[in-house]
Structure 1
């Protein structure tokens, strides 16, 4: 099946934002792994003074290797090839069509002026001759941690849907910055596909390497890239074991997880159907619209 321009062999931009779109830090975790493996460098960045409320997304202070301390401000930047040869270990090389042209956009979700923020970044993508955009997100879901974590793929672009076999979302309601970026990109002719990983909501406070693995696997499937996992598989196994230990000390939590496992297994597939994932995605967004801070591990009313 022929891929749309940009999704196999073209100049691809992978996008991830911290915050609302990033349950378990899965989306940014996947994007950062790609940027590190490829040795990407900053080629364009927004002025944080225009888009961020520092009382909401505060700057942080970090210690440097030489012992000095520096402020790190929230922002967003596009990372691209440095032009210098990258010589990682053989088992850390990202290979496949377009690997040497891959770009990554990483940032924090802005507090204001979303239209201008998205327009500035899409202008930078056009300047970099980006031909396709993959938007990564992660949602808190009624997903058991003991089963494969599903990734829901969708696109508003009919050619992308036909070529990649992905859905068109029927969701209506509050959205995050990823939806604004996708809308601006499609308006200027850059095709987009959105990937959302399901993260068990009862462990919402911890990073989820298993969800990072799920997103990377879906990126590989859609782009033809081969992405080395490094220590991620070991970390995912350790994460799953830690949740097992947590559940072993909480009878109610263990019972709830067993119910999720039964519901998942009843679907008679290692992954939930596309329709089921889409429904979970819609429930998640509606829930986040009502309760932006998230919730405890127990099921919430109306979930």
Structure 2
């Protein structure tokens, strides 16, 4: 049996912490709208932080499946973009310390990595682990974004819920290391929570700051951490205005969005109805709407160049 502590090293002095929250997100799994990536990057960009734990990416990653970028200059290699899986010590706007674990999703040794995360959590006295990501949903960008909270204990979810009724029951989905950590550490008695933000499916491949705002608002509400949000909210408002401008220029897209709005309103206000689809509005499939939106943006880009 391998020792999970062999997968990481402590960097510098690690202070004594009092029940810190650990936020985590790994790139490589489904993250519609870049929800989790934008949220964690925003925190690290705007708050004081330093790396206190580094994981052994050389053991955890498959370089041939996602090769790092190297820089060649004239006659020699001058740089390599080394992947990093690291734990940051961060302080919120009121000086409260918390932890942020980021990096590419490990390709191998998932169970050992989950044990290593637990070992770090034990060592630092972590009180709660929280993750967030985006999932594509047939919802319009003109309505408040919903989210599906999930966690190791029902009482952890009572303070946070998205608008409307959750569309999920019992489903089978591909695993991710984030969900495995939530599951394994939850079984070990940890408070572990996740937030799946419902991102409009036609925006799933784009960066959608509003989804990151929704995720961070949920995390703040459940943990009490205070984040700087003004710049991210401004970016969300700008992006939403640009999207609306593009959609209003296309009658086909405008009709499709109207249908999504009626479907959304029917679901959130009358979920007991058998048919929650918008009445009398021909609705395209998710793939068709995404294709229409992408085609419109491509045509717009061609006109602008």
TM-score interval, normalised by the smaller of the two chains: 0.7 to 0.9
What do residues 149-171 of structure 1 show as CA deviations (whole Å, max 9, x unaligned)? 1122111324535x647799733
Q: Using the TM superposition, give the Cα deviation of residue 136 of structure 1 relative to its aligned residue in structure 2, in angstroms.
A: 1.1
Please report the RMSD computed on the Cα atoms of aligned residues, expressed in angstroms: 3.0
TM-score when normalising by structure 2: 0.72
Q: Using the TM superposition, give the Cα deviation of residue 210 of structure 1 relative to its aligned residue in structure 2, in angstroms.
A: 0.6
What pairs up with 1:213-228 in 2 under 5 angstroms? 213-228=213-228
Partner of 1:94: 93
Partner of 1:297: 290
Partner of 1:179: 179
Partner of 2:202: 202
Structure 2: unaligned runs, 5 residues or longer: 1-17, 72-76, 272-286, 293-305
Partner of 1:35: 44
2:60–2:109 CA contact under 8 A, matched in 1:
yes
SS at match of 2:230: coil
SS at match of 2:140: coil
Of the two, which has the highest radius of gyration? Answer: 2
SS at match of 2:183: helix
What do residues 195-216 of structure 1 show as CA deviations (whole Å, max 9, x unaligned)? 1111111122211111011111
2:152–2:190 CA contact under 8 A, matched in 1:
no
Distance 2:49 2:169 in 1: 32
1:18–1:25 CA contact under 8 A, matched in 2:
no
CA 1:58 to 1:252, structure 2 compared with 1: closer, same or farther past 3 Å?
farther
What do residues 22-44 of structure 1 show as CA deviations (whole Å, max 9, x unaligned)? 22211121122223333121111
TM-score when normalising by structure 1: 0.73
Partner of 1:89: none
Distance 1:73 1:171 in 2: 37
Distance 2:289 2:54 in 1: 35
Structure 1: unaligned runs, 5 residues or longer: 1-8, 63-67, 87-92, 274-293
2:55–2:85 CA contact under 8 A, matched in 1:
yes
What pairs up with 1:34-113 in 2 under 5 angstroms? 34-61=43-70, 70-81=79-90, 94-95=93-94, 100-113=96-109
Number of equivalent positions: 251
What pairs up with 1:234-249 in 2 under 5 angstroms? 234-249=234-249
1:154–1:193 CA contact under 8 A, matched in 2:
yes
**Deviates further, 126-135 or 36-45:** 36-45
CA 1:60 to 1:295, structure 2 compared with 1: closer, same or farther past 3 Å?
farther
